[in-house]
Amino acid sequence: MFYYYFDEFIHGDDISTAESFQYDFSTIRAATDNFSSDNKLGQGGFGPVYKGKLPNSQEVAVKRLSSDSGQGDLEFKNEVMLVARLQHRNLVRLLGFCFDGTERLLIYEYVPNASLDHFLFGLVRDIMRCIHIALLCVQENTGDRPTMAAVVLMLSSLSLSLPVPSGPAYYTHNDISPEISLIKEYNSRSSEPRELAKSKSISSSRNEASITELYPR
């Protein structure tokens, strides 16, 4: 019966059908043993994920969204509907949701063999690693920047630890406004040709030739 209503929600246009697969908060709290740390599977950017077991013995993964997201009931339901429409056999299936006061919960199917962590957190982890490598490539000291071979190795080997990047070359201190920094850079660059011209100037003899004025006939 639950999956019938869930399918109706996915293909329906009325947001009120979301109520048909809303879980009771007390049920989810009991399923996760009051969100016990022993049942915690991991921590994502939007909140922790807990393993739970429903009264029908079905194992689920409960994503507890951060309470300071500022979402209202309608916004949360719209977000759930969007996720529900993204159901795919290669994605972790969304089973339902729950909200009670400030609590916002998403209930997914539990995927064993630690693959759930890959689905829920793998993409974020990969993105953060790519950003880390990008910061290494734009360090101010060019000697600290990795070679292309090193970058390929960093991207292909997740077990390889990454060094802490130093300040990027385009970084501007807070006490110097960008306008002043650009003006100083422009002045220093514009003065280089003049200094170069002075350094390459050679002494020349004075020409004593007279000027002849031409008059028409």
Contact (CB, 8 A) for 116 and 41: yes
The residue among 160, 166, 162 whose CA lies nearest residue 143 is: 166
What pLDDT score does 34 carry? 96
- Matching residue, tokens 């790519």: 130
* Strand 59-64, strand 94-100: pairing: unpaired
Contact (CB, 8 A) for 63 and 120: yes
The SS3 call for residue 93 is: coil
Please give the class, per CATH, of domain 2-110. alpha beta
Contact (CB, 8 A) for 97 and 107: yes
Give me the sign of the Cα torsion angle 49, 107, 121, 66: negative
* Strand 94-100, strand 47-53: pairing: unpaired
Comma-separated ranges of CATH 3.30.200.20 domains in the chain: 2-110
- Count CB atoms within 10 A of the CB of residue 183: 11
Q: How do the pLDDT tens digits run along the chain, 217 residues long?
A: 333 344 444 444 444 455 567 899 999 999 999 999 999 988 876 788 999 999 999 999 998 987 765 556 676 777 677 777 666 666 678 888 898 888 889 898 887 765 555 555 556 677 788 889 999 999 988 889 998 888 888 887 777 888 899 888 776 555 555 555 555 666 666 555 555 555 555 555 555 655 556 565 5
* Strand 94-100, strand 103-109: pairing: antiparallel
HSE-CB for 16 with a 13 A CA cutoff: 0
- Run of H or E including 26: helix 25-31
φ, ψ (nearest 5 deg) of residue 41: -90, -30
